[in-house]
Chains A and B, each alone.
Chain A
Amino acid sequence: MSDLTASLAEAQRLRALFEAQGATPVDADILQPADLLLDLYGEDIRGRAYLTHDPIRGEMVMRPDFTVPVVQTHMDSGADPARYTYAGKVFRMQDGTGARPSEYVQVGFEVFDGTNPAEADATVFAAIAEALAGLPVTPATGDIGILKAAIGGLRTSEARKAALLRHIWRPGRFRSLLDRFGGRSAVPPSRAALLAEGDPLGAVDEVPGKRSRAEIADRIAALRADAATAPLAEEERELIDALLAVRETCPYALSALRDIAVDMPAVQGAVQGLARRLDALSDKGIDVDALPFEGSYGRTTLEYYDGFVFGFTASHAPEMPPVATGGRYDALTAQLGSGQAAPAVGGVIRPDLVLGLRGGV
């Protein structure tokens, strides 16, 4: 049996497991309209996407994943709650040595259910853990929602919170913004000069292009307002650092996060959510006492995960691409539903990697 035939057979087996969990099988076109996907995912995915041009439909992309078409299918169906599963190839260019495949099969399980997020998170994680049972894989979990809540609760301006929220997935920029807002890095000379000027736009005759004079004026006003904002308190910075540094098994992580929540009440709700999720996972037979939790997990993946995040990597090769990944993506559904959110959580498994591990067991 060829590798692809074997992967597809394994994909059918995995998909059947998700169907047994009540998921409806769905499919998606391989060629997807590029503008929507690229606008949602940005340049990082464009650099890895196979783009092609259709004389009538315009720029098209070979699906880099199923998430967006599945969300669209769900939005069109109007069903709620709903569970879906799919199996098929996705396409992503690989920059490396050519050792990693640029097309591979994914099997997914997506749950749309806003009534009990902890239960839905646990359902997806447990289904994927069960599908991988017996394989030498190591799970990882995290919760972007806790970090978002922490940022939302900072005693600083809304503009600064928005800037930090936007850069959760770019740790370097996030750090430099924290330094900037904490008054720990020097204001760039060009900005200091701009702020010292009475009317920086006075000498500008003409503004070319789409970004208008009013937009420039708005940004200058925002910079002035920011310069007048008190620095972010050192304790708050330290709490964010403490939160990102949590790296324990779940029960210890929960207790560390509860300690942080005493000084940072804004995260209390999200930490309670974690506690409920751990209960739900435990009810489904997951050994949460042994399950790792990392405060910064999920910050370098695609930026649509905004709550629970998880992954499974081969225990002997943690640097290789994960065998399975997943998470909650409520904000993405809101963006696709033009404001009408459909809380959703899901995950994907790579059957080719499952087979590789099974061969090596």
Chain B
Amino acid sequence: MLKLGVPSKGRLMEKTFAWFGDRGVTLRKSGDDRAYTGTVEGIDGVELVLLSAGEIPRELAAGRIQLGVTGSDLVHEKLPLWASQVCPLALMGFGGADLVIAVPQAWVDVDTLEDLDAAAAAFRGVHGHRLRIATKYHRLVREFLRENGVADYALVDSQGATEGTVQNGTAEAIADITSTGETLRANGLKILGDGLIHASQATLFRGRRGGWTDEQRDTLRRLEERLGV
């Protein structure tokens, strides 16, 4: 059996089902809507596994599922060696969201990373601690800021309602996912002109972990043909 991991709820699940349906593979949640098992029609040898989108990268890397649909942001954040752990088979054209750096709109002097860096230096001098950036994407944000030569900041963990941390006084800036920027604006924040860290979208990945059977390899070939990827 080839196990296909799909987000277990919400629009991401619905759009994934629709994407496969358009290509002649019907994915369906079984019976009870609250159940996390499902059925696959239109191809043999594929088993549907419904999972939290955030767990799919780990399950792919561990080889407990062979295929998975999740946001590329989650794969890049959670798998340090993602390029050697998973292989993208298809960009699915939905679930688009940008991981961006945003600062208060009131910071009229800060519109670029260079500005952020200078503001962070001055901030540390005045307040005696580093400028705090709230995020749950620690790895991606840290790598991005290092590559772009931003110093004197510290990441603070925020697993939700990140846009509110600035108003609440627990951070000075944020790095978070946004699709339209509306929530950011509603919270008095603006995106830095060069602050795009990662443009994410729902992606079908194949795990690179070895140990596949001939049958699994054959199933993947047939599935790729069917999906046209």
Contact assessment for A166 and B130 in the assembled complex, using a CB-CB cutoff below 8 Å: no
Asked if B199 is at the interface of the complex by the 8 Å CB criterion, the answer is: no
Given A188-B193, A209-B169, A215-B126, answer yes or no on A170-B149 (Cβ-Cβ < 8 Å). Answer: yes
Contact assessment for B109 and A43 in the assembled complex, using a CB-CB cutoff below 8 Å: no
Enumerate chain B residues within 8 angstroms of A238, measured Cβ to Cβ.
none
Smallest Cβ distance from B134 to chain A, in angstroms? Answer: 11
Determine the residue in chain A with the shortest Cβ distance to B117.
A173
How long is the Cα–Cα vector from A209 to B138 in the complex, in angstroms?
Answer: 22
Enumerate chain A residues within 8 angstroms of B107, measured Cβ to Cβ.
211, 216
Enumerate chain A residues within 8 angstroms of B121, measured Cβ to Cβ.
163, 166
Which of A72-80, A118-126, A145-153, A217-225 lines the interface with chain B? A217-225
Interface bits A88-127 vs B (CB < 8 Å: 1, else 0):
0000000111000000000000000000000000000000
Asked if B218 is at the interface of the complex by the 8 Å CB criterion, the answer is: no
Contact assessment for A208 and B166 in the assembled complex, using a CB-CB cutoff below 8 Å: yes
Contact assessment for B148 and A173 in the assembled complex, using a CB-CB cutoff below 8 Å: yes
Enumerate chain B residues within 8 angstroms of A39, measured Cβ to Cβ.
129-130, 154
Picked from B104, B112, B147, the residue with its CB within 8 Å of the CB of A209 is B104
Which of A199-207, A244-252, A267-275, A281-289 lines the interface with chain B? A199-207
Interface of B is mostly: mixed
Q: How large is the interface on A (under 10, 10 to 19, 20 to 34, 35 or more residues)?
A: 35 or more
Enumerate chain A residues within 8 angstroms of B111, measured Cβ to Cβ.
188, 190-191, 194
Asked if B118 is at the interface of the complex by the 8 Å CB criterion, the answer is: yes
How long is the Cα–Cα vector from A47 to B147 in the complex, in angstroms?
Answer: 14
Q: How large is the interface on B (under 10, 10 to 19, 20 to 34, 35 or more residues)?
A: 35 or more
Determine the residue in chain B with the shortest Cβ distance to A190.
B111
Contact assessment for A216 and B139 in the assembled complex, using a CB-CB cutoff below 8 Å: no
Determine the residue in chain A with the shortest Cβ distance to B109.
A219
Smallest Cβ distance from A131 to chain B, in angstroms? Answer: 33
Given A95-B80, A188-B114, A188-B193, answer yes or no on A209-B167 (Cβ-Cβ < 8 Å). Answer: yes
How long is the Cα–Cα vector from A188 to B116 in the complex, in angstroms?
Answer: 13
Asked if A68 is at the interface of the complex by the 8 Å CB criterion, the answer is: no
How long is the Cα–Cα vector from A150 to B129 in the complex, in angstroms?
Answer: 29
Determine the residue in chain B with the shortest Cβ distance to A204.
B106
Given A170-B149, A188-B111, A200-B108, answer yes or no on A209-B166 (Cβ-Cβ < 8 Å). Answer: yes
15 more contacts with CB within 8 A, not counting A167-B151, A194-B109, A208-B166, are A46-B142, A173-B117, A173-B148, A176-B149, A200-B108, A204-B106, A208-B188, A210-B123, A210-B169, A210-B172, A211-B131, A215-B119, A219-B109, A220-B108, A223-B109
